[in-house]
Amino acid sequence: MTRWLVTGAGGMLGTDLVATVASRGEPVTGMDRAGLDVTDAAAVTDAIARGRPDVVVNCAAWTAVDDAEVAEERALAVNGPGVANLAAACARSGARLVQVSTDYVFAGDASRPYAEDDVPAPRTAYGRTKLAGERAVLGQLPGSGYVVRTAWLYGAHGPNFVRTMIKLEDQRPTVDVVDDQHGQPTWTVDVARQIIALVHSTAAPGIYHATSSGQTTWFGLAREIFALLGADPARVRPIPSSALPRPAPRPAYSVLGHGAWAGPGVPPIGEWRTALHRAFPGLLAAQRAAGVAG
Ligand SMILES: NC(=O)c1ccc[n+]([C@@H]2O[C@H](COP(=O)([O-])OP(=O)(O)OC[C@H]3O[C@@H](n4cnc5c(N)ncnc54)[C@H](OP(=O)(O)O)[C@@H]3O)[C@@H](O)[C@H]2O)c1
């Protein structure tokens, strides 16, 4: 039976990955930041040597995209050398390593889905740091390193766009949402299941894209959320990104292709709208619980 170690287990994806692996009856150790800081090389070596996992999945990351613009070195320490620490420890122990990465490694100006082997060209500090992590894994673990890129994540265990829209629908008569950024809203539970399928397949080491199929804009996603809430979708109004300037420019086009899954014969994640409908009751419950607590 596969023994799992999940780092960043206190985060939105890490929480769902640990729960999904555990629900299959597989032994999994989840380590949150307090339990294992990936920038501490000695602690990483020790955790992997003691735990003797077959596979390590790194869900730990500096994910504050705008803050990274003014703190790139600190973001890099987690997303670059932190990942290299894990790769070095896995190389010593023989464990496979799955590194979770992002659409932000691409320029975001394409007009067709990014393939796994398209040339990265990050336009943000966050994207540069995440690319450093990818390179550490692929360079140090050519026979046992996997990069799983995802994007536009939502889940029950962290702040995200879907939960924000549930809150705003309750608080505001109208909501303005950008309509010129294209991507694939993706449920953390689907990414967890995809990582599990990858680990249990004969997949070659390398890069895989774990996003929903299809595509929409943040505006399109917000309208779908309002409809799911029984609210009038016309209360969501489209605006251009230029009306909402941010320190880190957001990619206009973040759609990722799924061709690599054909190799191991693993079906890609399904259509984004279907996933949202499945996830929604849990997201609503989590947001309502947070609202009551807050
Ligand atoms: N969210 C998205 O839309 C999205 C899109 C594309 C890719 N991704 C990638 O998906 C992965 C999971 O993201 P997420 O959405 O679950 O983010 P998240 O909720 O922010 O989780 C990241 C976790 O990493 C922890 N962490 C930060 N620095 C650490 C360190 N030095 N050592 C150990 N843990 C550390 C954080 O702890 P603290 O909270 O205590 O700092 C947090 O619990 C990341 O690799 C991210 O780049 C996310």
pLDDT tens by residue, 248-285? 999 999 999 999 999 999 999 999 999 999 999 999 99
Q: From atom 1 of ligand 1, which residue's Cα is the shortest distance away?
A: 153
User: Is 90 exceeded by the pLDDT of residue 217?
Assistant: yes
Mean pLDDT over residues 216-224, rounded? 98
Mean pLDDT over residues 169-174, rounded? 96
* Relative orientation angle of helices 161-171 and 272-293, to the nearest 10 degrees: 60
Mean pLDDT over residues 202-210, rounded? 97
Alpha helices in 54-187 (DSSP H): 65-68, 72-79, 81-93, 125-140, 161-171
Ligand 1 proximal residues by C-beta, below 6 Å: 7-8, 10-14, 33, 37-39, 59-63, 78, 82, 100, 102, 130, 150-153, 158
Distance from Cα 121 to the centre of ligand 1, integer Å? 21
pLDDT above 70 covers a percentage of the chain that reads 99
| Probe target for ligand 1 pocket from 59, 105, 255, with the most ligand atoms within 8 Å of CB | 59
Mean pLDDT over residues 110-126, rounded? 98
Mean pLDDT over residues 117-126, rounded? 98
> pTM for this structure?
0.98
**Adjacent-strand bridge partners of 176:** 237
Select from 214, 65, 62, 208 the least CA-distant residue to 149: 208
Q: What's the pLDDT at 293?
A: 66
